[in-house]
Amino acid sequence: MPEVRWTAKAVADRLEEAAQTLRRLPAVKVRGYISTWPPTIRDFWEAFGWNAVEVRLGPPAPDAIDRMDESLAWLHVLEPDEVRLVWLRAEGVRWKSISHRFGMDRSTAWRHWSCALIKIAAHLNGMHATKTSQQKGLRHEQLDLA
């Protein structure tokens, strides 16, 4: 079986899938007081517009949850600011919002994001990520991520 080589693009795709999977999981609710009274059943003309309609996708598949757990473990390789940057981008936050949040230019934020993805890919491939190897990998993979 051939060995899988991780690239920055593959890492970005997997983290986006993890963010989507995490969004599809049911919300965690704090247990509160319960009531033994049955729920009130309302007629259509009473209930219309009473509560906001919330349409959600179904729960994720078990293998998607396993891939999400594996992907979230990769974030331990990064520094806290890099984790925030990578996760915001995986959630689909626009570069303009990210650059305002981090106080840097859009292209600088993109470079930090690319270096963080290359760092994760190097860790997954078993290589030691140094500054020069990140820069070399960044030059080769810039066209793939754009």
pLDDT in tens, 14-60: 999 999 999 999 888 777 777 778 777 667 666 666 667 777 788 99
Indicate whether 146 pLDDT > 70: no
17 residue type, one letter? E
98 residue type, one letter? I
More confident residue, 28 or 88: 88
Contact assessment for residue 89 and residue 74, using Cβ atoms and an 8 Å cutoff: no
Tell me the longest C-alpha to C-alpha distance in the chain.
68
Query: Looking at the whole model, is its pTM more than 0.85?
Result: no
- The label of the residue with tokens 């349409």 reads 55
More confident residue, 61 or 35: 61
Give residue-wise pLDDT tens across range 104-137: 999 999 999 999 999 999 999 987 555 544 555 5
Indicate whether 76 pLDDT > 70: yes
Residue 60 confidence (pLDDT): 93
In the chain, where are the structural domains located?
8-25+42-145
Residue 18 confidence (pLDDT): 97
Mean pLDDT within 99-106: 95
Contact assessment for residue 138 and residue 111, using Cβ atoms and an 8 Å cutoff: yes
DSSP class of 79: -
Indicate whether 61 pLDDT > 50: yes
